[in-house]
């Protein structure tokens, strides 16, 4: 019985940890430049969901087949019912943990490219380039506006990362639901609002949608 519980909890814990790791890879993969990263991200979520579904069914069947001699009725119900409960909890943790992982990965990406980002910002201040896709070595970027200076760092032309893009904004910060013009910031590290951004450092933000 104890062995069953230990292995079952380990299974769900591994899925929960995988959500965070998936978001972490999604947050830093443009900096990694690894060919496996993109398909891993695109296939990771459905693969983990399928694993969660199949694994839950397997653990539920194993729980039903356990010998219950001498066990109270309610304890038996709780033991069997813990599998679907953990399945639901694991599923609901997907969004928050992937989001938290991508936020952590964005910090890693910003640290890795900080000097290059700062050089691009300095260049944009003086050159005032038009809003078109450009590349500085391996870092692509768009300059959306010159005043206030608004730059989105993106790896590919006209592709916005599902996990958010790092943006530089030298203007007013407003709350997520504030109608005033400016970059809309949400303070919740687990969720992203439509068009909302999360503050990374200084004037750098992680934004899910173009503003």
Read off the pLDDT of residues 147-181 as tens digits, 9 standing for 90 and up: 788 888 876 544 455 677 888 988 777 776 666 66
pLDDT, position 156? 55
What is the chain's alpha carbon radius of gyration, rounded to the nearest angstrom?
A: 22
pLDDT, position 92? 95
Q: Residue 80: left if φ>0, alpha if ψ -120 to 50, beta else—which one?
A: alpha
Higher pLDDT, 26 or 203: 203
3 Cβ contact partners less than 8 Å away, ≥ 6 residues apart: none
Interval 19-52: pLDDT, tens: 999 888 888 876 554 455 566 667 888 999 999 9
Q: What is the pTM of this model?
A: 0.78
71 confidence band (pLDDT: 50, 70, 90): low
Interval 105-135: pLDDT, tens: 889 989 988 999 999 888 888 776 666 667 7
C-alpha distances in Å from residue 39, one per residue of 44, 45, 110, 158, 195: 8, 11, 23, 19, 26
56 confidence band (pLDDT: 50, 70, 90): very high
Closest by CA position to 80, among listed 140, 1, 148: 1
The whole-number average pLDDT for the span 58-71 is 77
pLDDT, position 52? 96
Residue 144: CB atoms within 10 Å: 16
> What is the Cα–Cα distance from 118 to 136, expressed in whole angstroms?
12
187 confidence band (pLDDT: 50, 70, 90): low
> What is the Cα–Cα distance from 14 to 54, expressed in whole angstroms?
14
pLDDT, position 190? 60
Strand partners, 53: none
């Amino acid at each position: 019985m104890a062995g069953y519980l230990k292995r079952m909890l380990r299974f769900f814990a591994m899925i929960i940890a995988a959500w965070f790791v998936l978001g972490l890879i999604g947050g830093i993969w443009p900096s990694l430049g690894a060919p496996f990263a993109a398909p891993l991200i695109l296939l990771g979520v459905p693969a983990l969901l399928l694993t969660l579904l199949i694994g839950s069914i397997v653990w539920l069947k194993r729980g039903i087949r356990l010998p219950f001699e001498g066990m109270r009725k309610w304890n038996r119900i709780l033991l069997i019912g813990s599998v679907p409960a953990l399945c639901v909890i694991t599923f609901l943790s997907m969004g928050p943990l992937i989001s938290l992982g991508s936020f952590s990965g964005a910090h890693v990406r910003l640290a890795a490219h900080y000097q290059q980002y700062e050089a691009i910002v300095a260049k944009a201040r003086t050159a005032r380039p038009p809003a078109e896709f450009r590349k500085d070595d391996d870092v692509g970027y768009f300059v959306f506006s010159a005043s206030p200076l608004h730059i989105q760092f993106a790896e590919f032309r006209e592709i916005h990362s599902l996990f958010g893009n790092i943006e530089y904004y030298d203007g007013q910060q407003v709350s997520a639901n504030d109608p005033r013009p400016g970059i809309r910031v949400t303070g919740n590290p687990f969720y992203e609002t439509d068009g909302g951004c999360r503050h990374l450092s200084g004037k750098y933000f992680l934004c899910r949608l173009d503003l």
